[in-house]
Structure 1
Amino acid sequence: MEKTPPFETPLGRAAALITNPALPVDAMMRILRAVPGAPGEVEYLRAFSDELSARLATHEDPALRMLLGRAPGVTGPQRALLVADPDPAVRKQAAYGPDPTDFFRLPRSPMPAEAYRVVLADPEVAVRLRAALSYHTPDDVRAALTRDPEARVRREALEELERPPRDVLAALLDDPDEQVRVVAERRSQPRDTAKDLREAADPDPWIRARAARDGHLPADVVARLVADPDNRVRVAVSMRPELTEEQRAAIDYHIDPSDRIQPPTWVTDATDPDIVRRCVYSAHVGLRRAAAYNPKLPPDLVAVLAEDEDFIVRLILTESHPEPPAAVLLDVVLRSEFVTRFDGLRHPNFPRTGLTHLADSSDEVARGLVALDRDAPDELIARLARDESLIVRRWMARHARLDPAVLAAFLDDPQTVKSALNNPHLPPEYIEATLADAGI
């Protein structure tokens, strides 16, 4: 991927306009055609308008059409615009979608049913194969792919099905392809309990911890793991679904705020309201963290976790639930020490009013957040635009009601120009002049 030119150069300044929320789509398309590296900037936009998606889907450059297929901010319906693309490489990307590089933070983004019908009939084996492998493909589509005329597609679709239906397995046990039959036979076999027991006694604590999460372990083995010398194993066994709160409390485990815990799927994928409620109100912080990963939590339980004493519970809630409360989104931005600290800023629920009380904070990030308050008084905006902190001045350079003279000064300052180029009230004539300077 080509690098974007430094923003101090005319081409770099033009590329910096890409993330301006008010940039007209026509201007964006001109920048994409002319600036090396600009497509890489667009790929990480949090959201794509339908107009931009339609323009990219019909662009003559297949690289830009593929961008629409892989960008995390593109919705399934927007990606579906590509399923009939003349270029098989573009259709492959559309069938696969964005790569789930962060499993718990990238929501599944399936395409509409009619789009998958087109994919299932695609003449290119590679397109159907990518659909079989995609993290975003719904189970019913993957099950349909087990009937594909190509053996590789049938085999991969079966491998990726988490719980293959009995009729699917029965049909594939008689498949004409030997490798498909081998997979079907393996997926049809009952669990190897001897292997489970060997794992539970393995000298490696990571393997014992994995075994401790196995729902098929005999009770006597679970009882042995409860007293395992390694805390990771005791944490894992303490989150088994059959335990009562009293039994969990009797286990000698500890979870620090910075500990990374693998959340059990019986919680993260739970749809039973009683199971979810039990975990939300559990004294076990690991179960509450796991519940926060569940995107189907009802509003009353979201409200409970938003007040949880464990910061990681609140953080996970903002990253995993589609409707986190405004207060918890703000709290995470103010308190988080993780690289994902600012991810919640573009969430529709992030507060856009009531932030002026942060103007006198000793934390420069907190003062900068005032730039997001659409009701902030003009005099406060002017004051923070002169703040001693460069971080605060960069935040204020984006404020929609910034005095035009101050905005002009920010545009002339190499330290603030990139932020100022993202001001939604950037004069149209300045945008055109910037593009003209870059020869666009």
Structure 2
Amino acid sequence: MIASEPVLRGIAANPGAPLAVLLRLLAPEAAAAWPVFVRRRFPDEFVEAVLGSPGAGVRKAIAGNPWLGDDHCLRLAGDRNELVALRLASGRYAERRPRPLSDAVLELIHLGPAGGTEGYLTRSEIAGELYSRGALTGSFRRRMATHPSFELRRQACYFIDELGEAQRSALLDDPDPEVRATARRNHLPEVPTAEELAGAQADRERVYWYSGRPVPPELFEAAVADGHADSLSRNRHLAPDQVRRLAAHPDPQVRRSVAGRSDLTAESAALLAADPDPDVRLRAEVEPVPRRRAQTLVLNRVDGFAVPIDHPWMFVRPVDPPALDWYLACARSPYPLLRRAAATCPDLDAETVRLLAADEDREVRLLLALYHPDAPPGLLLEAYLALPEHRLRLRLRPAFPSRRLPAELVRHDDPEVRELAAADPEFDGDPAALLADPAADVRRAAAANPRTPAATVEALLADPDTAPELLEGAAAGPHLTERRLHELLDRAGVPR
């Protein structure tokens, strides 16, 4: 007896499966195929059928697909089942979608469709999920601050310090008392007392006080003496004399952190520019004072870039981003740090992209691959090899190379790299060797490769001892006709 679940997943992944075959996968008997609905681009007719399905489970399955168009996303955002709407922004594939969700979609997910919803989640819970997953674009967060809905304005208060001065002032004086209170609590936190600090149960609680609350002079000196200078160096509430005090701290890491502040005075900046540590001097030199906070935030994001964790928040644009001209000037700077900042701008023109793609600094090239939608295929492959944590995000890019890949990839130690070669329809090698690869994902890709002979595919589908990953790959192969795919569905018990 051939296992049906791998075959169903393979049919869902089969790029040649006609609409009539795909529509049979909407039946509850084919639910094993639904997780695949996020892994590939589907024809609009199929997506339309899914959106019209009465089953929330199948609608939720397609909602995480990163290739959905704005119209389909808007309809899913208005789904009466909040879990369907939320799935637009959640899940491995949705969180790494090549294009962010539109402001209209995000607004509808936040506020819900007219007439109410099924009540699985509160709107506050949904907002928290969207925020934690980095789904809120910079443009939408700007709109939240002045939105007619008091609830969206209240939520904007949680990132009030990222907003421009006019929007901050408006929230602090908002006509709604709850919005005003939330804005003031987040923008003007109370000064901690000595009693609060003495009652802190763990060192991390003191880190919170020292990094995020105004610190009076007597507590500041005590905190420095107790070894909390690093936390203090990130505190936006410090007075100029306190910043100056930390700029002369004996720990170069503390001075390095101070050199990345947006509120440096000319005196502190001059002190840091003459620092004995070259890293401190460099950070002070690349950004003259007076500084613009938006530019400082971008520079600090890429300062010391190595291999970042793949978290969606890493790719959220600032609420108040620097002007494009600043990024373009950075791209032509002799300082690698400024060129790295330029590489995070998705709006760079083609000439600047070509310039940065050939940059001598490896981090510049890798950042460009991660951030720019038009990064060239060769650079995307370079980043794929160098940044394992970002591989899914890179493979979702339309320009990611899938054909004529370097022959040596098939001998790579990493199975995720060998899988690329196994899936390459122009792979110039022995398919049988890849079908016997130690890694299941490589074997699955090899079984689905057009270069695997049709006879081999049929033998895999007919053998009751075929491993699940080979069954799945064989069912995804392009050799299978519509009639054969229907036969496989019949055998799996999926109704016509």
2:163: which partner in 1? 163
Q: Residues 110 and 127 of structure 2 are in contact (CA less than 8 Å); yes or no, is this contact kept in structure 1?
A: no
Q: Could you tell me how far apart the structure 2 residues matched to 1:120 and 1:225 are?
A: 49
Please point out which of 220, 231, 234 is paired with 1:207: 231
Q: Could you tell me how far apart the structure 2 residues matched to 1:264 and 1:116 are?
A: 22
Q: Residues 39 and 67 of structure 1 are in contact (CA less than 8 Å); yes or no, is this contact kept in structure 2?
A: yes
The answer to whether the aligner puts 1:39 opposite 2:89 as a matched pair is no
CA separation of 1:194 and 1:181: change in aligned 2, threshold 3 A: closer
Q: Residues 96 and 131 of structure 1 are in contact (CA less than 8 Å); yes or no, is this contact kept in structure 2?
A: no
| Structure 2 residue ranges without an equivalent (≥5) | 192-212, 281-303
Please point out which of 379, 388, 391 is paired with 1:328: 379
Cα deviation for residue 275 of structure 1 reads 2.7
Cα deviation for residue 324 of structure 1 reads 1.4
TM-score (norm 1): 0.71
CA separation of 1:62 and 1:429: change in aligned 2, threshold 3 A: same
CA separation of 1:284 and 1:61: change in aligned 2, threshold 3 A: same
Q: Could you tell me how far apart the structure 2 residues matched to 1:203 and 1:156 are?
A: 35
SS in 2 for 1:340: helix
194-203 vs 275-284, greater mean Cα deviation: 194-203
Cα deviation for residue 327 of structure 1 reads 0.7
The answer to whether the aligner puts 1:122 opposite 2:119 as a matched pair is no
Amino acid at match of 1:179: E
Amino acid at match of 1:9: A
Higher relative contact order (CA 8 A, sep 6+): 2
CA separation of 1:164 and 1:310: change in aligned 2, threshold 3 A: closer
Q: Residues 393 and 416 of structure 1 are in contact (CA less than 8 Å); yes or no, is this contact kept in structure 2?
A: yes
Q: Could you tell me how far apart the structure 1 residues matched to 2:77 and 2:387 are?
A: 41
Q: Could you tell me how far apart the structure 2 residues matched to 1:157 and 1:404 are?
A: 57
Q: Could you tell me how far apart the structure 1 residues matched to 2:401 and 2:9 are?
A: 29
| Structure 1 residue ranges without an equivalent (≥5) | 1-6
Q: Residues 69 and 79 of structure 1 are in contact (CA less than 8 Å); yes or no, is this contact kept in structure 2?
A: yes
Q: Residues 15 and 478 of structure 2 are in contact (CA less than 8 Å); yes or no, is this contact kept in structure 1?
A: yes
Which structure 2 residues correspond to residues 38-437 of structure 1 after superposition, within 5 A?
38-42=33-37, 44-82=38-76, 85=79, 87=80, 89-90=81-82, 93-94=84-85, 97-99=88-90, 105=96, 108-110=100-102, 112=104, 122-124=114-116, 134=130, 135-136=135-136, 138-139=140-141, 141-143=143-145, 145=147, 147-148=148-149, 152=151, 154-159=153-158, 162-163=162-163, 166=166, 170=170, 173=173, 175=175, 178-186=177-185, 194-195=214-215, 198=220, 201=224, 203-204=227-228, 207-208=231-232, 210-211=234-235, 214=236, 218=240, 221=243, 224-225=246-247, 227=249, 229=251, 231=253, 233-240=254-261, 247=273, 251-253=277-279, 255=304, 257-258=306-307, 270-281=321-332, 287-309=338-360, 311-333=362-384, 335-336=385-386, 338-341=388-391, 343-355=393-405, 357-358=407-408, 361=411, 369-375=420-426, 380-381=428-429, 383-387=430-434, 389-391=437-439, 394-411=444-461, 412=463, 413-414=466-467, 416-437=470-491
341-350 vs 260-269, greater mean Cα deviation: 260-269
Cα deviation for residue 437 of structure 1 reads 1.7
- Aligned CA RMSD, in angstroms, stands at 4.9
TM-score (norm 2): 0.65
Cα deviation for residue 229 of structure 1 reads 1.8
Cα deviation for residue 60 of structure 1 reads 0.6
Cα deviation for residue 253 of structure 1 reads 3.9
CA separation of 1:398 and 1:171: change in aligned 2, threshold 3 A: closer
